[in-house]
Chains A and B, each alone.
Chain A
Amino acid sequence: MLWDALPDALLLARIQFAFTVTFHFLFPAFTIGLASYLAVLEGLWLWTGRAAYLDIFRYWLKVFAVNFAMGVVSGIVLSYQFGTNWSVFADRTGPILGPLMGYEVLTAFFLEAGFLGVMLFGLGRVGKRLHFAATCLVAIGTLISGFWILSANSWMHTPAGYTIGPDGRFLPADWWAIVFNPSFPLRYLHTITGAYLTTAMIVGAVGAFHILRDRANERARIMFSMAMWMAATVAPAQAVFGDLQGLWALHHQPQKVAAMEGHWETQRGAPLILFGIPDMEREETRLKIEIPYLGSLILKHSLDGEVRGLKDFPPDQRPDNVPLVFWSFRIMVGIGCLMIALGAASLWLRWRGRLYDTSWFHKWAVAMGPSGLVAVTFGWITTEVGRQPYTVYGLMRTAESVSPIAAPAVAASLAAFVIVYFCVFGAGMWYLFRLVGKPPLPQEEGPRDDLPIRTAGITPAPSAQRTPARQPEPAE
């Protein structure tokens, strides 16, 4: 029977959650940064009165609308997946994680969804100041949303403030300890900073792309410059937050750090393994290239600090896919280093006055466009796969969290998710590329607030009319 060839329901459910959550997070990773960027742009416009800021605001607002819609619909899926595929987990952790999710909806989801309409459609209706307030509320909403979601996620890594009831349920004992659980503050900082960098890379790439085509495009130059300031200042800070988070993880989840580092043996003066092939059967990392003592120096801040290896833990308490954790971590860190280099190069070029006419640099910035999305994805894979085999670290195993749903049902829904996500979000990406493929122009048209663009019926080719007539660039 074909069904017998299916992987077991647990593995399918894990793949399904990994797929839907990874796909979903691509959108908020960009939305969080973009919402704040839009608020800054509109604020600058109101403050300076310079029309170019409004043009750039409108240019990115169109992108924001598409991206936000995709984030919302892929996020609704997640709020139900805990119940459909992880019902035992939902039953046992519901008393703690449920209220955190509830607060996310009450404080953020409604705020974003409510004022998004005003932000997209209301500039002509409510006036500048109130519209700016709506933009700020949406931006704040994205940050609050991240707060609660990251708090819930962090609790799964470093559970605190709970007791366990006779029926195995986690019961709240101290809400302050639950919300501000040990790994939460740094994880929140690291994630939001990652989202800002993701946005900076995308905005920078789009700016660079249009500078390459037309060096005099003032709006492209402004967005490029702003993005490079962000990269130059925030990428190094992100390295510090990442290092701090690694130290926390060493304290709370030593297995994960051992898997990230590829260390099997506990040793003093541990090396830093740059590359290698972690072999789970032989319990060693083969073909490794390492720098002596640096591992201890980074993790323990001393040359002969003791670093625990995976063999220190029983096999059933180790992450079940060490190579994935090991490599994901390296991809994230590698991209982070490239971002720092990009930011540093931008400072040097700026100082030399060549920021806008160094085409190799612009090409580099274009290539870095998706790097933020890749880095946050692999960062999440590192931390989430590194938490395995637990859902609630040390307390509840993934294998005991899953719903009593038969494998064929999980397989069918997984297939449906894959097909629909690739079709719908593929089409969405295509529109996003089309939007950012057009250069930012003076008198940039808003999504639909001050031109009768929503009446496709009056024109034979609906979108042809939506592109404003190209206007000559102002002489500079």
Chain B
Amino acid sequence: MSAETIATIWAFLIATSVFLYVCMDGFDLGVGILFPWIRGQEDRDVSVNTIAPVWDGNETWLVMGGAGLFAVFPLAYATILPALYMPIILMLLALIFRGVSFEMRFRAATKGQLLAWDRAFSWGSYAATLCQGVALGAFVQGIEVEERAYAGGWWDWLTPFSCLTAGALVIGYGLLGACWLVWKTEGELQDQARALARWLGVLTLVAIALVSAIMPFLLPEFRARWFAFPAILAALPVPVLVAFLGWRMFKALGETDGHPWRDGLPFLCAIGLFFLAYTGLGISMWPMIVPPELTIWDAAAPRDSQLFLLVGAAVLIPVILAYTAYVYWLFRGKVKHGEGYH
């Protein structure tokens, strides 16, 4: 295989890791985002129980994204992270609060402590999501690179567009979290989650429309991609698909006959919306990895490094996906009040 082919494969693998991260940590961050709206301590405990056995594995995809970038696109790693210095550091700190509060809130000695850890969980989820959204916006807008190093200032990441993407991501993760709770819970909590999912569904569609409308005007490269003649034809079905998935999600949210598969359908539709938005982003960016300066081939590690890790990834990623699926299957079904994990 040529170096170019391997770099292309890796670009897809890293993109897949990031997408898996967004979907999986997206719903458990979403549960934290919804926390202030979930009434009753019991319902809060149940919602945390739905994610407690899996959050750790979900977050590992973030580590995979970071380590993978370091391994196969070190130049991208070495320019994107300094450019997004503050949002990345804040995200890491927020994830610390959130990660430990899973364990701590169940060991709280007093009500005051429980409240403090609940807040750490919820505010940590908000802060981490906002930082990821800001980072996404700033990244898409472009990063200044000179002589293999970040050349911008340390406030460059803060722009109106990055604030928009931050808000959009909070809404989107909130939707994933609400749909997850619709799937994994029942009774009053599920009703609450349904109501939240409807609101967040509408807001998500608005956010997707806004970001999509602004995207082509950020960089000439994006404009060229979307407004060139044959490309625009390929882009046409995307709004149709978004509309279809949105419609299907609202329909499924309205059907409350308790069919076990139907409760999972809104979640699948929400994942579908994320997939479409993510694919759109990918089409805009391709083949840039640090827009607008570096392509995946500019930033690629030498062929030997990429191949060395690719051999392992080819064997291990399917294994990881298999046992991740197994763990999800093991903890399948509704999480009930007063049940914990039997």
Contact = CB atoms under 8 A, between A and B. Distances in A.
A452 B340 contact: yes
A462 interface: yes
A240 interface: no
A96 B150 CA distance: 21
B42 A455 contact: yes
Contacts of B103: 65-66, 69, 428, 431
B297 interface: no
Contacts of B293: none
Interface residues of A, number: 87
Nearest to B335: A454
A55 interface: no
B207 interface: no
Interface string B300-342: 0110110011001100110010011001001100000111111
Contacts of A99: 71-72, 301, 305, 308-309
Contacts of B159: none
A417 interface: yes
B80 A83 contact: yes
Interface string A70-86: 10111111011011100
A96 B71 CA distance: 8
B301 A95 contact: yes
B74 A91 contact: yes
Contacts of B46: 455
Most chain B beta-carbon neighbours within 10 Å: one of A69, A91, A99, A458: A99
Contacts of B86: 409, 413
At the interface, is chain B mostly helix, strand, loop or mixed?
helix
Given A91-B148, A420-B96, A449-B341, A462 B108 contact: yes
Interface string B89-129: 11011011101101110111111001000001000000000
Given A118-B330, A125-B330, A461 B100 contact: no
Interface residues of B, number: 84
B224 to A, nearest CB: 29
Nearest to A451: B340
A113 B148 CA distance: 35
A96 B72 CA distance: 10
Contact of A118 (B43, B109, B312, B327): B327
A76 B63 contact: yes
A393 B99 CA distance: 35
B274 to A, nearest CB: 22
A143 B329 CA distance: 27
Nearest to B322: A114
Contacts of B149: 87-88, 91, 404
A282 interface: no
Interface stretch (B53-61, B174-182, B262-270): B53-61
Contact of A72 (B59, B68, B72): B59
Contacts of B44: 457
Nearest to A100: B71
A117 B58 CA distance: 11
B42 A405 contact: no
A106 B54 CA distance: 17
A405 B88 contact: no
Contacts of A352: none
A7 interface: no
Contacts of B93: 416-417, 420
Interface in A87-131: 87-88, 90-91, 93-99, 101-107, 109-111, 113-118, 120-122, 124-126
Nearest to A101: B67
A175 interface: yes
A31 B309 CA distance: 27
Given A76-B63, A457-B40, A103 B312 contact: yes
A179 B287 CA distance: 32
A102 B71 contact: yes
Contact of A120 (B42, B53, B69, B110): B53
Nearest to B99: A73
Nearest to B73: A94
Nearest to A425: B100
Given A65-B103, A455-B337, A87 B96 contact: no
Interface string B135-179: 000000000000011110010000000000000000000000000
B52 interface: yes
A276 interface: no
A406 interface: yes
Nearest to A410: B85
B74 A121 contact: no
A84 B85 CA distance: 6
Contacts of B19: none
Contacts, number: 288
Contacts of A454: 45, 48-49, 52, 106, 340-341
Given A87-B79, A99-B305, A79 B63 contact: yes
A80 B92 contact: yes
A461 B108 CA distance: 9
B82 A403 contact: yes
B215 interface: no
A198 B95 CA distance: 27
A230 to B, nearest CB: 26
A456 interface: yes
A117 B57 contact: yes
A70 B100 contact: yes
A463 interface: yes
A174 to B, nearest CB: 10
B286 to A, nearest CB: 22
A406 B95 CA distance: 24
A450 interface: yes
Most chain B beta-carbon neighbours within 10 Å: one of A102, A409, A421, A461: A102
Interface in A403-449: 403-406, 409, 413, 416-417, 420-421, 424-425, 427-428, 431, 434-435, 448-449
B81 interface: yes
Contacts of B342: 124-125, 449-450
A171 interface: yes
B131 to A, nearest CB: 12
Interface in A159-175: 165, 167, 169, 171-173, 175
Contacts of A413: 85-86, 89
A94 B71 contact: yes
B208 to A, nearest CB: 28
A409 B154 contact: yes
A55 B179 CA distance: 39
Nearest to B321: A110
B234 to A, nearest CB: 33
A87 to B, nearest CB: 4
24 contacts: A70-B100, A76-B59, A76-B62, A77-B92, A77-B96, A83-B70, A84-B81, A87-B78, A87-B79, A95-B304, A98-B67, A98-B305, A99-B72, A106-B320, A120-B53, A172-B304, A175-B304, A403-B150, A413-B85, A424-B100, A434-B107, A449-B342, A455-B340, A462-B106
Given A69-B103, A84-B81, A421-B96, 7 more contacts: A69-B102, A72-B56, A106-B64, A106-B317, A114-B324, A431-B104, A462-B111
Instruction: Please list the 3 inter-chain residue pairs (A to B) with the smallest Cβ-Cβ separation, ordered nearest first.
Output: A94-B74, A457-B42, A83-B81
